[in-house]
Amino acid sequence: MTIQDLLKKIMLFLVLSSTATALVSCEDDEGDMDPIVEPEEFVSGDYETTISLVSDISENGNASDISINLLGAAASENISEYRIIVAKSETDESAIETDAASLSSDRFLSVPNNANIYENIVLNENQLDFDGDAITNGVSYRIWILTVGTFENEDVFVLSEPSAAFILERKALVTTLVSSIDSNDALTIDSEGNIYASEFGTWTANGGLGTKILKITPEGTVTDYATDMSGPLGITIDDENNLYVIDGNNGSTGNIVKITPDGTKTTIATLNGWPAGIVKDADGNLYVSNYNLAVLHKIDSDGNVSVISNDSNLTGCVGIDLDENNNIILGNYNDGSIYSVSQSGVVSTITRIAGLPDFFALGYITYSEGFVYATGIGTNRIYKVDLEGNTEVFAGNGSGATVDGSVDNASFNGPNGIVVDEVNDVMYIQDWGAQALRKIEMLEE
């Protein structure tokens, strides 16, 4: 090699523009890799790719949650592919510049050059990040695009500016367990995770026309558990799998019916008004809300009936459950109010959920780990309320349809009955309008 050749090689270097890092290489006669492009001959910005959008589109817990839009390089005729690289935000930029071109194929997504604008590119679920780790929720990432092409018949690798940092946020998913079911009202659940659903049926001024209680396994198998009912509404279950159902409502009275596992039915009480919701405590006491009367009834384990509270706010209450202190939580169908009633009968307002229609506000409620979950039967949403009254939309986009998806994007059709399987962290919702049984995998707070 002559002195002139050596000086020429020293003058050649890697070109860094303000927006991209360019790596151009070839082999010399001895087989070594050397930079060969002079600055005045090569504009790295012509090879740069621009990231225009990064979206978190799913709840898979891997790279397939990521969708990106990008603008291809200006020197398109010289580009062969774009490699999408996901790196932890903490990764040193110099390491990415040094190693991006030598990554194994499982650490990037290769997009062939066939357009100027690329939209909704979803990454492969098995793609790893820059470090070779699985891409998952809760980690801060940035995305880089490595443009692969040629300049004067030599390989060129140009690294884009990174995207803004982002974190994949895991959201609970709404799915449809049973798409068509002969029930539309209250739900309860046994210790094995089986769901029981009451068929109030078509509403009339004198009660519902439904006749059944259904049993649904966690896998979605449906059987008739009890028949010859008369517009059954609220439903609860004890540790021996005895069901307690509010039945035979006619606007003036309603029956509290006990159904044993062998199918034997016994009316244990008849209450005035329109008894609607029912819940059982650990001591075997039953509490019953009443739609027509401003009363909250208690039925003890011996069948004795008493009035815990007589308060005008309680007219219109249907949904009912107990908190960990054995306070009775009530949801008002008429105006969307949620109340807490102590065992001594003191009524406290937790909140009145805003934006609900009158007389078609809340279906049922359930209480789980410090929160009341209420079905907005008139708004097609599920609400989450803490005991201080702070309220948020937990699930449902408000459209009246049965569409699965994340809790933000899924839709309900008149959600009504609701219950949480706290052993398996699953919520079930009965759609009144679609007569579908929906399921939400609960996430840890």
Annotate 235-302 with DSSP letters as a single string: EEE-TT--EEEEE---SSEEEEEEE-TT--EEEEEEEES-EEEEEE-TTS-EEEEESSSSEEEEE-TT
Please tell me whether residue 212 adopts helix, strand or coil conformation: coil
Q: Are 137 and 168 in contact (CB under 8 A)?
A: yes
Tell me the torsion sign for CA atoms 368, 372, 377, 379. negative
pTM of the model: 0.75
Q: Are 243 and 213 in contact (CB under 8 A)?
A: yes
Tokens 């459950």 sit on residue: 321
At 61 the pLDDT is 86
At 86 the pLDDT is 98
As a whole number of angstroms, the distance between CA 278 and CA 271 comes to: 12
Domains and CATH numbers, the chain: 3-167 (no CATH), 173-441 (2.120.10.30)
Q: CA-based angle 205:206:207, to the nearest 5? A: 100
As a whole number of angstroms, the distance between CA 137 and CA 169 comes to: 6
As a whole number of angstroms, the distance between CA 292 and CA 274 comes to: 5
What are the E-state strand segments in 16-101? 21-27, 33-35, 50-56, 66-71, 79-88
Which DSSP state fits 97?
Answer: H
Q: Which two tokens stand for residue 281?
A: 């405590």
Please tell me whether residue 41 adopts helix, strand or coil conformation: helix
At 29 the pLDDT is 44
pLDDT in tens, the chain (445 residues): 443 443 333 333 333 333 355 554 444 444 444 433 444 568 889 999 999 999 998 888 899 999 999 999 999 999 999 999 999 999 999 999 999 999 999 999 999 999 999 999 999 999 999 999 999 999 999 999 999 999 998 999 999 999 999 999 888 899 999 999 999 999 999 999 999 999 999 988 889 999 999 999 999 999 999 999 999 999 999 999 999 999 998 889 999 999 999 999 999 999 999 999 999 999 999 999 999 999 999 999 999 999 999 999 999 999 999 999 999 999 999 999 999 999 999 999 999 999 999 999 999 999 999 999 999 999 999 999 999 999 999 999 999 999 998 898 899 999 999 999 999 999 999 999 999 999 999 876 5
As a whole number of angstroms, the distance between CA 409 and CA 429 comes to: 16
Q: Are 242 and 235 in contact (CB under 8 A)?
A: no
At 445 the pLDDT is 55
Q: Are 380 and 400 in contact (CB under 8 A)?
A: yes
Number of residues written out for the chain: 445
At 10 the pLDDT is 32
As a whole number of angstroms, the distance between CA 23 and CA 264 comes to: 81
Q: Are 347 and 363 in contact (CB under 8 A)?
A: no
